[in-house]
Amino acid sequence: MTRTEPALTFAFEIRAEVEPPLHIGHGSGERTEFTPITGGTVRGPRLTGTVLAGGGDWSDTRGDVCQLEARYLLRADDGTVIDIVNRGYYVESGADVYFRTAPVFRTDAPAHRWLTSTVFVGLAHDDGGAIVIRCYSLD
C-alpha cells in the first residue's frame, strides 16, 4: 500500500448572501443565533450555479469559539438542485480569524454525484452582507 500526503484542489467558491443574524437565545456563557441566507452564487472550475434563498446558518458561540451549522440549497447551471450542510468554526483571536468549514452535499443527479463522495474543506470569510466559502476537494 502506498501512502501519500493529502492535497487540496480548488473546486468552487460559494458566495452566500445573508441577512443580519436573529438572536434565538443564550445560556450561561452561550449565545445562539440564526442567520438567514437570501441567495448568492457558486463559481469555479468544478461547479457553477446559484445559492437559493431560504436556508440559513445556526450558530452557537461560547467564549471566543463560534460553532456553525448552515443548511441551504444550490442550483447548478444545469438545473440540478443540490442540498448542502456546512459545519464549521469561527474563532477570532486579536487580528487572526480562523473560519473553516466542512461542507457535505446530497444529490442523485449523475453529473453532480461526485459531490456526494468527496471530502471538502471550506476556507471562509465575511464579505459584508455575504459569506464567501472557497471549497477545496481533499485528494
Identify the three-state secondary structure at position 117. Answer: helix
Give the side-chain half-sphere CA count within 13 A for 121.
11
Structural domain count of the chain: 1
What digits encode the pLDDT tens for the residues 76-114?
999 999 999 999 999 988 889 999 999 999 999 999 999
- Is residue 116 a part of any domain in this protein? yes
Q: CB of 82 within 8 A of CB of 112?
A: yes
Do the domain assignments include residue 2? no
pLDDT of 3 strictly over 80: no
Beta bridge partners of 62: 30, 65
4 or 16, higher pLDDT: 16
Res. 72: pLDDT tops 80:
yes
Tell me the CATH number at 123: 2.40.160.20
| pTM of the model as a whole | 0.93
Mean pLDDT of all residues in 3-12: 91
Q: Is the pLDDT of residue 1 over 60?
A: no
Residue 3 lies in a domain: no
pLDDT of residue 89: 98
Alpha-carbon gap, residue 83 to 49, rounded angstroms: 13
Residue type, 63: G
Which tens digits make up the pLDDT trace of 14-66?
999 999 999 998 888 899 999 999 999 999 999 999 999 999 999 999 999 99
Q: Say if residues 72 and 54 touch (Cβ distance below 8 Å).
A: yes
Structural domain for 122, as ranges: 8-138
Domain assignment present for 1: no
Q: What is the pLDDT at residue 4?
A: 84
Q: How far is CA 21 from the centre of its chain?
A: 16
Joined together, the cell numbers standing for residue 18 give: 445573508
Q: Which residue has the cell 436573529?
A: 22
